[in-house]
């Protein structure tokens, strides 16, 4: 496993500044929306010039893309090292529970990401995150520097396919439909949860996932019953 000190000083300074700018926007998002946060404020928080900021991020919203990049790397590591021995359905549920935990730690960021995604005509392009950035962001995740930055729509299809292979979901399960349903749950629940104070994001995620699984299994059982008549 590589350590931060294994990398040249220039790479470490680059990574440190980039992560500091992300930390600055996350801290300010706790108080006001992204549209009200100025680049000047973020530069003051991190003691860098505005020219330096734009060398790292062409726009403020690129900070959201960077957060998404880091999240996908962290989730990929989590799936690989923490839950890969369990069933595929349990792994999918674990991803959602983990996301709920992260969302509770930074409640404003999910809303900003959802708003950003809603305005986009296509999914954001996830560029590369250097090994030293990964190590600095996730010092306790052994091997994180070598994992690909895969988005949710790259992580879930393989797991959906595995649920069918392992018999957890019916053989005729439409993987594309299930992926669309999971994506809707992923982004929809945090919005709904704001008006349901008695339920946490985790509770709602699990309830919606279990309802989806039950519906898919019931559909197959009903089809089998019809065929048997």
**Concatenated DSSP letters of 54-102:** HHH-SSTTHHHHHHHHHHHHHHHHHIIIIITTS-HHHHHHHHHHHHHHH
Is the pLDDT score of 228 beyond 50?
Answer: no
pTM, to two decimals: 0.84
Task: Give the integer Cα–Cα distance in Å for 101 and 40.
Answer: 31
Q: Could you tell me what percent of the chain has a pLDDT over 70?
A: 90
pLDDT digit string, tens, across residues 67-122: 988 988 888 888 777 656 678 898 899 899 988 988 888 888 888 988 888 887 77
Give CA–CA dist 165/46, Å, rounded: 49
Got the DSSP string for 157-217?
A: HHHHHHHHHTTSS-TT--HHHHHHHHHHHHHHHHHHHTT-TTS-HHHHHHHHHHHHHHHHH
Residue pLDDT, tens place only, 50-78: 999 999 999 999 999 999 889 888 888 88
In angstroms, the Cα distances linking 47 to 20, 42, 53, 60, 212 are 10, 8, 10, 17, 48
Query: What local confidence, expressed as pLDDT, does residue 18 receive?
Result: 96
The residue with greater pLDDT, 209 or 128, is 209
What pLDDT shows up at residue 229? 39
Domains of the chain (ranges; CATH) run: 4-228 (1.10.357.10)
What is the average pLDDT value for the chain, to the nearest integer? Answer: 87
Higher pLDDT, 123 or 113: 113
Give the list of residues 6+ apart from residue 178 with CB closer than 8 angstroms, or none: 160, 169, 212, 216
Binning the chain into helix, strand and coil, the percentages to the nearest 5 are: 70, 0, 30
Spatial neighbors of 106 by CB under 8 A, at least 6 apart, are 26, 29, 30
Burial class (CB in 10 A: 0-12, 13-18, 19+), 117: middle
For residue 19, name the pLDDT band (cuts at 50, 70, 90): very high
Residue pLDDT, tens place only, 194-205 = 888 889 999 999
pLDDT of residue 227: 42
Give yes or no for a contact between 175 and 153, defined as CB atoms under 8 angstroms apart: no
């Amino acid at each position: 496993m590589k350590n931060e000190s294994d990398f040249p000083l220039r790479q470490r300074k680059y990574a440190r500044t980039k992560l500091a700018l992300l930390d600055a926007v996350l801290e300010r998002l706790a108080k006001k929306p992204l549209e009200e946060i100025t680049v000047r404020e973020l530069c003051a928080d991190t003691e860098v010039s505005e020219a330096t900021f734009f060398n790292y991020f062409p726009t403020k919203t690129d900070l959201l893309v960077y957060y998404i990049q880091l999240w996908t790397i962290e989730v990929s590591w989590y799936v690989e090292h923490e839950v890969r021995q369990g069933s595929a359905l349990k792994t999918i549920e674990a991803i959602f529970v983990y996301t709920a935990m992260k969302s509770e730690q930074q409640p404003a960021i999910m809303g900003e990401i959802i708003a950003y995604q809603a305005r986009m005509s296509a999914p954001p392009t996830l560029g590369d995150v250097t090994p030293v950035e990964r190590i600095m962001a996730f010092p306790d995740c052994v091997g994180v520097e070598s994992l690909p930055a895969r988005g949710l729509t790259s992580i879930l299809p393989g797991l959906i396919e595995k649920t069918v292979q392992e018999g957890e979901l019916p053989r005729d399960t439409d993987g594309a439909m299930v992926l669309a349903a999971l994506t809707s749950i992923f982004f929809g629940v945090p919005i709904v949860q704001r008006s349901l104070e008695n339920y946490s994001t985790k509770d709602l995620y699990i309830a919606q996932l279990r309802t989806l699984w039950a519906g898919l299994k019931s559909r197959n059982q009903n089809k089998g019953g019809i065929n048997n008549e």
